[in-house]
A and B are shown apart, each in its own frame.
Chain A
Amino acid sequence: MKSRILIADDEPNIVISLEYLMRREGHEVSVARDGDEALEMIRREPPDLVLLDAMMPGKTGFEVCQAVRDDESLAEVKIVMLTAKGRETDMAKGKALGVDAYIVKPFSTRELAEKVRSMLADPK
């Protein structure tokens, strides 16, 4: 079964790799360049999983996450937060806002792929 994945990140350099990786995993991939675009795309066509960068222009990852979690109809959307902020406080914030997984950069692509696979297999 093809899953739909949204990559929300303003850095093209990571998007290239993530997009390739997810396609290769057999998912259907779309890309958002900032927080507002990401939220709009999630609302228009809810993906199964979002790879969400924490620091983006417009709405930050945290704000997007909060907006998604405030919307009952989007409860099924799984959120993986990708962030350069490795502090405990940031992780706590992510958890509190309803992030399903919090991954600190730099990360191993293999582990990320596995994480995504297992999250998609595991119904919420």
Chain B
Amino acid sequence: MNRFDWRLALGVAVVGAACLLWLVVAGVLLWAVLDPADWETVTEALGGRGGLLLFLWAGSLIPVAALLRYLIAQYIRAPARLAEEAMLRVNNEKAGPLKLRGSRQNQRLAELLNGLLEKQYALQAEMDDRVREASRQTELEKSRLAALMSELTKSVVVCNLDGRILLYNNRARIQFRRLSRTPGVAGGAELMGLGRSIYTVLDRRLVQHALENVQRRLNRGAGAPSAQFVTSTPSGKLLRVQMTPVRQVEASVQNDAPRSVAEMTGFVLLIENITDDMQADSEKDRLLTSLTEGSRAALANTRAAIEVLEYPDIEDCMRERLLGVIREEIQGLSERIGEVQQSTSKALRSRWPLEDMLAGDLIEVAIKRIRSELGLHAEHESVDDELWLKVESFTLLQALLHLAGRLQEHCEVRSVALRLGEREGQAFLDLMWTPDQGDGNKAELGWDMEPIRVGRETLSLTVHDVLERHGGECWIEQEVGDKRHRCFFRLLLPLATPQEELPTATFMRHESRPEYYDFDLFQSSARSESLDDCPLGELVYTVFDTETTGLNPAGGDEIIQIGAVRIVNGKVLRNEYFDQLVDPRRLIPPAGIQIHGITPDMVRGQPAIEEVLPAFHSFCSDTVLVAHNAAFDMRCLALKEKQTGLKFDHPVLDTLLLSALVHENQESHRLEAIAERFGLTIIGRHTAIGDAMVTAEILVQLIPLLADKGVHTLGQARQAAQQTYYARINY
């Protein structure tokens, strides 16, 4: 410890001064008490040796200093150090126990503190464990809910009271993708995304009206209040929307069970596309009308003609004309009946809930059930796996089991085979068996009229009923194969229109579960203040990057790729991204291809900029635009303003400028350099989406650092960025 210690110096000075004072006082007193002669003797004795006296005084100060130093170290510095070290250890377990130093009392104090710290650490660890466990549970519940939602066949969207989307499922994503005016470009991500407003797809007034209805019912104390409305989309689809409130949950005082109160915090929308249902309904209406009103006119014509014919004195030519009328009307009626029958089999049958099922799946289940329930050997033969059927699989399987069971009982059949195929717009399902030689075919068609019996259970349905529901039929046929002669029950079943299955790639591009929910948005409310006053952490950002044919947009260089990703609630939404190649309709210089890797082949057939920018514009509506070196990208967008009529007048932040603001002493603010500083890895550098993703991560990291610099709001960030040196670069 070489530091000059003012306490030591002060102590020595005080003691020295005291000694000096004592000497002087002693001298003065002596002088006052002694008579001049004695005083003379004293001064004589001391005469000339005053320096010795001073030396003695100074010498005595050395042991004093040593003593003081010891005392300070033991009783002042040691406790102070102990306090500092203890302070450090309160929140940092890794520092180890306090060293026992200094006086005995100090050592005891250290021991005591060590004991207390030990207890504190244990408590802390326990708390941490509990918190971790609790949040793990919450996470688990949330992801379970999200998983459940994604399996539902109805579209589900959960919004907070401002209409911002907190959760949506796959089905909703698909449905709204169909509503998108440019489905190929953004994949509907410009409509359906976390934090986006539901009012871009549903009329605000309709939703508000439904909300008011629900609130009214809630206030009245209804148990399960909900509201419904039907709305049409710009593309002419009809949607039925059911709204259910999300209620405020309060822990009641008596017991900790959460209790719902009448206050709403958001709402759940169940959205169903009823276009097809409505079409079926109106088709039914049309059929009914054609049956009643259409037939009435024809009957009237016929009846009148017949009644006129009954006059005995009718002329021959009139008789011929009237007979002609009757023939024509009867013919017309027959045709109408034929038409009605054909369409009823499609339109009127849909009342029984049939579901779409893959032929392969149905056969697989059927074989399993026949084997397990009847102990029969069962196998499949030429099944068209790709065929979609429209069936009610439970009763259909029961019917199959019934028939197979009857075969087993009556014909001693031990092995059956199933065959499924398509013929003339219908599916046929054959239950085949080889009858015993000699006995012939003992199977009876009458079996389809008896109640279905499976094991000990008898249903009130017959096979005939089941097929009726499907608008199908059933009969027994025989066929003579290569060697043997076989029989089969043929069941005719309706086909389904092939299902719209989304390519799995849409969901699986990232390994993690898609971020389809963010319940933290429940807490956020409408921002009344202007964006400039908004804290950086609460804003919604669209972070984007463009790849261009060159670096001179004003000189004719064009955008060839746009990639963008949003940040909502401080999280990068990696699954709701915008990634689109653009046909520049000009040459891509080979020099650029080496950087961005986009070849003329890749952009051929891609949409042009007039098509992509509208989708991108809606993708980033109501957000703050962010780019690295934003001036360049914004310049590219601005140059297209005249052509597309789209103004990108969003607030803009530049990560290059923000980085320069936070790390003013760093040399490089290139994207790679910043990413490296933050320990981020860039996947796909110089692809628009890759750069946009890493820029987004950088922004998330920059926000807290900006706060340390006193930059908290968007306004402050923009102002501070303006002032940095780089702001003067202009493209």
List residues of chain B with CB within 8 A of the CB of A20. 308, 318
* Number of interchain pairs (Cβ within 8 Å): 62
Q: Of B294, B297, B303, which contacts A109 at CB under 8 A?
A: B303
Question: Which of the segments B321-329, B386-394, B455-463 contacts the partner chain?
Answer: B321-329
Interface string of A62-90 (1 = CB under 8 A from B): 00000000000000000000101110000
Please measure, in the bound complex, the distance between the C-alpha atom of A21 and the C-alpha atom of B328, giving whole angstroms. 20
**What's the minimum C-beta distance from B344 to chain A, rounded to whole angstroms?**
21
Contact at B304–A14, with CB atoms within 8 Å? Answer: yes
- Contact of B300 with A86 in the complex, beta carbons under 8 Å: no
Q: A16-B321, A20-B318, A86-B296 are in contact. Are A109 and B301 (CB under 8 A)?
A: no
- Among A13, A24, A110, the residue within 8 A (CB) of B301 is A13
Q: Is A40 an interface residue when CB atoms closer than 8 A count as contact?
A: no
- Contact residues in A for B329 (Cβ distance below 8 Å): 13
Chain B residues within 8 Å of A13, by CB: 301, 305, 325, 328-329
Segment with Cβ contacts to B, from A26-34, A41-49, A100-108, A116-124: A100-108
Between A and B, 25 residue pairs with Cβ closer than 8 Å are A13-B301, A13-B328, A13-B329, A16-B305, A16-B308, A16-B318, A17-B307, A18-B304, A20-B318, A24-B311, A82-B300, A84-B294, A84-B296, A85-B293, A86-B292, A104-B296, A105-B296, A105-B297, A106-B296, A107-B304, A108-B303, A109-B304, A109-B307, A109-B308, A110-B307
Residue A11 interfacial (CB < 8 Å): yes
Q: What is the total number of residues of chain B having a CB less than 8 Å from a CB of chain A?
A: 21
Interface pair A106/B302, CB less than 8 Å apart: yes
A9 CB to nearest chain B CB (Å): 10
- CB B533 to nearest CB in A, in angstroms, measures 61
Chain A neighbourhood of B300, CB < 8 A: 14, 82, 84, 105-107
A1-60, CB < 8 A from B: 11, 13-14, 16-18, 20-21, 24
- Min CB distance, B351 to chain A, in Å? 23
Q: Tell me if B299 counts as interface (CB < 8 A to partner A).
A: yes
Please tell me if the beta carbons of B303 and A107 are within 8 angstroms of each other in the complex: yes
The answer on a CB contact under 8 Å between B301 and A11 is yes
CA distance A66 to B402 in the complex (A): 65
| B296:A16 contact, CB within 8 angstroms | no
Q: Is the CB of A21 within 8 A of B308?
A: yes
Asked if B322 contacts A16 (CB within 8 A), the reply is yes
Count, chain A residues at interface, CB 8 A? 20
A17 to B296, CA, bound (A): 16
Q: Which chain A positions have C-beta within 8 A of B318?
A: 16, 20
Q: Is B305 touching A17 in the complex (CB atoms < 8 A)?
A: yes
- With CB as the reference atom, state the residue of chain A lying closest to B309: A17
- Give the distance in Å from the alpha carbon of A18 to the alpha carbon of B304 in the complex: 8
Q: Closest chain B residue to A112 by CB distance? A: B304
Pick the contact of B325 from A17, A82, A104 — CB < 8 Å? A17
Contact string, B250-284, partner A, CB cutoff 8 A, digits 1/0?
Answer: 00000000000000000000000000000000000
CA of A15 to CA of B299, assembled, Å: 14
Query: Which of chain A's residues have a CB closer than 8 A to the CB of B302?
Result: 106
Distance in angstroms between the alpha carbons of A14 and B299 in the assembled complex: 10
| Contact A106 B325, beta carbon cutoff 8 Å | no
A54 CA / B361 CA spacing, docked (Å): 55
4 additional contacts (CB under 8 A) given A21-B304, A84-B296: A20-B318, A105-B296, A106-B296, A109-B304
By the criterion CB–CB under 8 Å, are A108 and B293 in contact? no
Closest B-chain residue to A85, C-beta based?
Answer: B293
- Tell me if B292 and A106 are in contact (CB < 8 A): no
Q: Please, which residues of chain B bring their CB within 8 A of the CB of A14?
A: 297, 300-301, 304
Q: How far is the CA of A10 from the CA of B374 in the complex (A)?
A: 66
Other-chain residue from A17, A84, A85 in contact with B304 (beta carbon distance below 8 A):
A17
B298 to chain A, nearest CB (A): 8
Q: Are B297 and A84 in contact (CB under 8 A)?
A: yes
The CA-CA distance from A8 to B297 in the complex, in Å, is: 14
When distances are taken between beta carbons in the complex, the residues of chain A under 8 Å from B293 are: 84-86
Q: How far is the CA of A9 from the CA of B343 in the complex (A)?
A: 30
Bound Cα distance A21, B322 (Å): 12
- Min C-beta distance of A61 to chain B, whole Å: 13
Q: Which residue of B lies closest to A105 (CB)?
A: B300
The CA-CA distance from A16 to B311 in the complex, in Å, is 14
CB distance from B304 to the nearest CB of A (A): 4
Q: Are A108 and B311 in contact (CB under 8 A)?
A: no
Chain A residue with Cβ nearest B292: A86
Closest to A104 in B: B296
- Shortest beta-carbon distance from B335 to chain A in Å: 15
| Residues in A neighbouring B328, C-beta threshold 8 A | 13
Interface centre among A13, A16, A18, A24 (most CB of B within 10 A): A13
Contact between A17 and B311, CB atoms less than 8 A apart: no
